Amino acid sequence: MTNPLLDDWIGLYGGVPPFAEVRVTDLEPALEAAIVAQLATVDAIAKNPAAPTFDNTLAAMERAGRALDRVATLYYVWSSAMSSPDFQVVERTMAPKLATFRDQITQNKQLWQRIATIWKNSARSCNNEEQRRLAWLYYTTFVRAGADLDDGAKERVAAINERLAALYTSFSQNVLADEESTALVIEDEGDLLGLPSSVRAAAASAATAHGKAGTWIVLNTRSSVEPFLSYSARRDLREKVWRTFVERGDHEGARDNKPLITEILELRAERARLLGYETHAHWRLEDAMAKSPQRAMALMEAVWPAAVARACEEVADMQAIADQEGAETIRIAPWDYRYYAEKVRKQKYDLDEHDVKPYLQLDKLREGMFHVASQLFDLHFAPADDVPVYHPDVRVWRVTDGAGKHAGLWYFDPWARPGKRSGAWMNAYRNQERLDGDVATIVSNNANFVRGKPGEAVLVSWSDATTLFHEFGHALHGLCSSVTYPSLSGTAVARDYVEFPSQLLERWLETPEVLSKYALHYQTGEPLPKVLVDKLERASKFNQGFGTVEYLAAALVDMKAHFHLAGDAAVDPATFEHDTLKAIGMPPEIVMRHRLPHFNHVFADDGYSAGYYSYLWADTLSADAFEAFLEAKGPYDKDVAARLRQHVFSAGNTVDPAQAYRAFRNGDAGIGALMRRRGFPEPAKPR
Which residue numbers are catalytic? 471
Helix, strand, coil in percent for the chain, rounding step 5: 60, 10, 30
Say how far apart CA 419 and CA 181 lie, in whole Å: 11
Give me the amino acid identity at 31.
Answer: L
Burial class (CB in 10 A: 0-12, 13-18, 19+), 156: middle
Asked whether 248 and 242 are in contact (CB, 8 A), the reply is no
Half-sphere exposure of 193 (CA within 13 A, CB side): 8
Asked whether 566 and 265 are in contact (CB, 8 A), the reply is no
b/e string for 40-65 if b means 16 or more Cβ within 10 A? ebbeebbebeeebbbeebbbbbbebb
Long-range CB pairs of 597-602 (<8 Å, 24+ gap) are: 597/247, 597/248, 597/249, 597/250, 597/256, 597/257, 597/258, 597/261, 597/573, 598/175, 598/178, 598/248, 598/249, 598/250, 598/257, 599/554, 599/558, 600/171, 600/172, 600/175, 600/421, 600/423, 601/558, 602/558
Q: Give the CA-trace dihedral at 426, 430, 433, 437, to 10 degrees.
A: -150
Which 3 state secondary structure label does DSSP give 619? helix
Nearest to 446 by CA among 465, 427, 469, 474: 427
Give me the amino acid identity at 560.
Answer: K
Nearest to 65 by CA among 433, 612, 516: 433
Question: Which stretch of DSSP H or E encloses residue 545?
Answer: helix 544-563
